């Protein structure tokens, strides 16, 4: 059951929902239930959606001005609100508004991040005071990436992505670009050509160029635009890698000038691109475990 926090109630919260990149993503095996064993480093980046939560007293959950392709039935932030409501039996409700900047089906975790920000924000808005670990457990029922965004720190992820260990990484400038197509996760993981036997990590220290993305060859076969985007990165002097199950591609930049130049070259070539930075912690990290805003 939820614990009541003796703080003044707020009526509305406007929250960031940041994207992530996978510095590497290895598939180390396949479980009997069809899910895969993974090893990856997840890093939050400054590209972000906005989630606005407005308290309702009637217990209802509504998505206002739904972005294209989303509804109250399929939006992960709404599903997160319903899951939190069921877990705590709270009588409060919420109106949810989303401003989407993170492309969907892009491997950047946009929907999962929206869900995590909803969990973190509603934990405060509804005065539930649930600990981070409990919010992560609820998030795991919504999607494999949600616990990471609640965790809030760059992390080495194992299992199906739910086993998280914080890692320390230098702040990096990153250029992220979209090929303009979405890639569904299911067809990538079920593809017969997916590499599923990368050996588990034998080291606990690695640099930012470590490893590879085992999903990239299959995703690029399903969406050839990924390879064309990678070629544009290489032509601009960068070393690209796909994030998640696709479709976005990123490259690390040595300095702000290189980031600006790389982004400009990609945009000039017709790609949608962002110059962003990695984050040492999620901007909502302090919103849980007793924090008061």
**Distance from C-alpha of 249 to C-alpha of 77, rounded to nearest angstrom:** 25
Give strand pairing partners of 250: 176, 241
Distance of CA 77 to the CA centre of its chain: 13
- Give the closest residue to 122 by CA, choosing from 78, 158, 170, 187: 78
DSSP string, 205-221: ---TT-S-BTTHHHHHH
Which residue among 14, 20, 33, 100 is the active-site one?
A: 20
Which residue among 49, 114, 145, 214 is the active-site one?
A: 145
20 flagged as catalytic: yes
207 flagged as catalytic: no
Distance of CA 61 to the CA centre of its chain: 23
Residue 104 near residue 114 (C-beta atoms within 8 A): no
**Phi then psi dihedrals of residue 204, to 5 deg:** -110, 0
Question: Which of 131-148 are b and which e, b meaning 16 or more Cβ less than 10 Å from the residue's Cβ?
Answer: ebebbbebbbebbbbbbb
Question: How many degrees, rounded to 5, is the angle at CA 268 between CA 100 and CA 256?
Answer: 75
Question: Which residues have a Cβ under 8 Å from the Cβ of 167 and sit 6 or more positions away?
Answer: 41, 153, 154, 155, 156
Number of other CB atoms surrounding residue 254 within 10 Å: 9
**Distance from C-alpha of 243 to C-alpha of 292, rounded to nearest angstrom:** 34
Active-site residues, by number, are 20, 145
């Amino acid at each position: 059951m939820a614990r009541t926090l003796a703080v003044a109630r707020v009526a509305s919260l406007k929250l960031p929902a940041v994207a992530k990149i996978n510095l590497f993503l290895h598939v180390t095996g396949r479980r009997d239930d069809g899910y895969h064993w993974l090893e990856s480093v997840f890093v939050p980046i400054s590209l972000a959606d906005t989630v606005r939560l407005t308290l309702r007293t009637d217990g209802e959950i509504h998505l206002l001005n739904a972005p294209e392709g989303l509804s109250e039935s399929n939006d992960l932030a709404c599903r997160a609100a319903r899951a939190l409501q069921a877990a705590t039996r709270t009588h409060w409700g919420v109106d949810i508004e989303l401003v989407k900047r993170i492309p969907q089906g892009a491997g950047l975790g946009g929907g999962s991040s929206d869900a995590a920000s909803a969990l973190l924000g509603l934990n405060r808005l509804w005065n539930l005071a649930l600990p981070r670990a409990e919010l992560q457990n609820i998030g795991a029922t919504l999607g494999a990436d949600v616990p990471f965004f609640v965790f809030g720190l760059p992390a080495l992820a194992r299992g199906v992505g739910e086993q998280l260990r914080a890692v320390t990484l230098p702040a990096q400038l990153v250029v992220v670009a979209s090929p303009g197509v979405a890639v569904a996760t299911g067809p990538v993981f079920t593809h017969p050509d997916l590499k599923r036997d990368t050996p588990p990590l034998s080291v606990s220290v690695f640099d930012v160029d470590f490893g590879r993305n085992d999903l990239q060859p299959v995703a690029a076969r399903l969406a050839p635009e990924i390879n064309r985007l990678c070629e544009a990165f290489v032509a601009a002097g960068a070393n690209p890698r796909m994030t998640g199950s696709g479709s976005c591609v990123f490259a690390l930049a040595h300095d702000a000038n290189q980031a600006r130049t790389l982004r400009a070259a990609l945009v000039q070539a017709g790609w949608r691109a962002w110059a962003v930075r990695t984050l040492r912690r999620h901007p909502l990290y302090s919103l849980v475990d007793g924090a008061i805003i």
